[in-house]
Chain A
Amino acid sequence: MLQTLPAAAATDEAPPRPILQLVGVRKVFGGFAAVEGIDLDVREGEFLTIVGPSGSGKTTLLRMLAGMDQPSEGNITLRGELINDMPPNKRPTCLVFQSLALFPHKSVGENIAFALKVKGVDAATRKKRALELMRIVRLPDNYHDKNVMKCSGGERQRVALARAFAYDPEVLFFDEPLSALDYKLKKALEKELKDLHRETGKTFIYITHSLEEAMVMSDRIGVMRAGKLVQVGTPEEIYGAPVDRFVSEFVGEVNTLKMKRAGAEWHGVDVPGTFTLSPPKDGASLDEAFVVIRPEYMRFLAPGERADNQLTGTVYNEYSLGSRIQYQIRVGEKVMLAELSRARALAPGASAEVTIGWDAADAFTLGS
């Protein structure tokens, strides 16, 4: 049974043993490998999000985890038991579909109690349990007999969630269930989902193409590209230490500058000048590198002010992002982005010619 735990889920202490383990998992459709050699340990009780652009294989991966597809190669184990070929109805896992897949001919209560009906639970107990779950997902009691298709988008999400909880799964999968909702509702539900995760202590595996969504909710994030897991780490690691340009650019808008090494000096390829680079993360020695600078680490330099690196260009656009302002600065052919809080913004009517700069420690040096 689903119990409401106090803020649990170990993220900082000793890593708990993996509940789900993927070793060399591969899925081939025809001649095309949709998922290629995935190794992944999912920890008990964590909120793991797999992000990737569409076609990166994340949905295929999820379908294999839920049992709707079988891996072509590799092993999936649940608490040490091999479950590659275990059908979905035998797995202690449950998927919340992108479409939600609510049963349109059943009421809210009947939808939620579906798994209980499968188990042969009597009607009175089913109703009692459905009402309990409805309270957990914050649905009013009088919705029990409401036609599920007459519910709003947000309410349907909650029904789908409660229906999955009723199955009492060890692992819950989510296939972009929030993607169809408007921004505000999505934000609210992201937080609710995070709360529910904490309160229930279940292991959540969430699939999305939106890293922003992943950042808000996840304990760990796995980034997928072209069927491969490129990087797995905490939101801070993904944001602060992307392993390559793909991950760094996936996280958000960034400035990427190509550099070439000449002896001990790094020369810009797209922009003029020499630059000071932080050492690459893996300590590799490179002849060519990409420097990735997040717009918020870029600052305007007043005359006489200095930074490790600097560029001179012209402001040709500014966008208000609410509390922040984004500037587009043209440096030769290259457009650089800088994001500043309003307090540190340029004075209106200031000279169009600006000098921008950043410190080496605030940028990543990537080989690819």
Chain B
Amino acid sequence: MADIALARASKMAPETARELRHARRLSVGARCALPVAVLLAIGFLAPMVAILAYSFATPRSFDVFRSFTLENFASLFDPTNTVWLSFAWSVGFALFTVAILAVIAYPIAYGLNAVFGRWAGFVSVLFVFPLFVSENVRLYGWVLFFIKNGVLDGTLKWLGFSGGPEVLYTPGVTLFGMAYTYLPFMLFPMTLGLALVPRDLVDAARDLGAGRLFIWREIELPLAMPGILIGMLLTFVLAVGATAEAKILGGQSIIVISHDIEIAFTYSQNWPLGSALAVVVSVFIAALTLVALSKLDLDRMLGRR
């Protein structure tokens, strides 16, 4: 034992020297990265700081940094304020979107992995291509699909049916639009998550007598869970902030929380109130994300691989 320790000690010296040199090199790198880091800090943090500061400013004023009041927050939590309705719609619809997408994306991700193997992740990125077209344009496309005498209604009439269902400008179609918009954000992590399940493990479980459902429950689902949860979290966070679906497809049949924030910043010209609302929503999402991520013990799930 002693001589091993000795051997290690004698080996230590050059290593420490190398480490020192390494540390010095890193600090050079850090220095080089400094301008970019500063720029990022300003670009990323400055708007956040502005929002936070505005949330404590006198309502309907621009007295940022010059006034301090909790009035904006107080008015948000005032029981007569119906803004909680918008918040409830946003959270509820986000949850529904996540649930729907989990059910829709799982078979797609499974199929992609089955067909494309290790290229599945790449193929699932192709689902992102619609994102290159503005979301509003794509949603207007759906309006043309669902509208009276539009694609769906027109085709059904041409085929001799009485016409399409009246779905446009309803909460239901809003949910459809959200599921449509956020599918790639669920699909990509989920596909990667499923790709994490080694083929051997499924074969081994089957060889040990397990049927399809048992394998899915005991092997595939737990091992793909990090990807699934990340997809769910991502989708949820994005969906809570969605406005275009409720506006364009839903015809504002419901008002979502980010629409309320937008109104505060535009027609109401109440930046402090809008900021306070943004801060409350951000804190809610951040807290939720942190809780979810702390529960999402990747090490444990992947067995520290």
Contacts and interface: CB of A to CB of B under 8 A. Distances in A.
Tell whether any CB of A sits under 8 Å from a CB of B in the complex.
yes
Interface of A: 66-68, 87-91, 93-95, 97, 99, 101, 103-105, 114-115, 117-119, 147-150, 163-164, 166-167
B201 A103 contact: yes
A363 B223 CA distance: 57
Contacts of B301: 105
A95 B204 contact: yes
A304 B223 CA distance: 74
B303 A163 contact: no
A323 B133 CA distance: 75
B40 interface: no
Contact of A99 (B200, B205, B223, B304): B200
B302 interface: yes
B303 A149 contact: yes
27 contacts: A66-B207, A67-B207, A89-B206, A93-B207, A97-B203, A97-B204, A99-B198, A99-B200, A101-B201, A103-B201, A103-B204, A104-B223, A104-B302, A104-B303, A105-B300, A105-B303, A114-B210, A114-B218, A115-B209, A117-B218, A118-B209, A118-B211, A147-B303, A147-B304, A164-B208, A167-B208, A167-B209
A88 B205 CA distance: 9
Contacts of A93: 207
Interface centre among B205, B207, B210, B218 (most CB of A within 10 A): B207
B162 to A, nearest CB: 49
Contact of A94 (B200, B207, B219): B207
B214 interface: yes
Interface residues on B, range: 20 to 34
A115 B207 CA distance: 9
B45 to A, nearest CB: 38
A90 B207 CA distance: 8
B280 to A, nearest CB: 37
Interface in B262-287: none
A339 B200 CA distance: 43
A149 B209 CA distance: 23
Contacts of A119: 209
Contact of A115 (B200, B201, B208): B208
A97 B200 contact: yes
A312 B302 CA distance: 63
Contacts of A150: 304
A67 B304 CA distance: 31
A163 B301 CA distance: 20
Interface centre among B208, B211, B222, B223 (most CB of A within 10 A): B208
B305 interface: yes
B214 to A, nearest CB: 6
A85 to B, nearest CB: 15
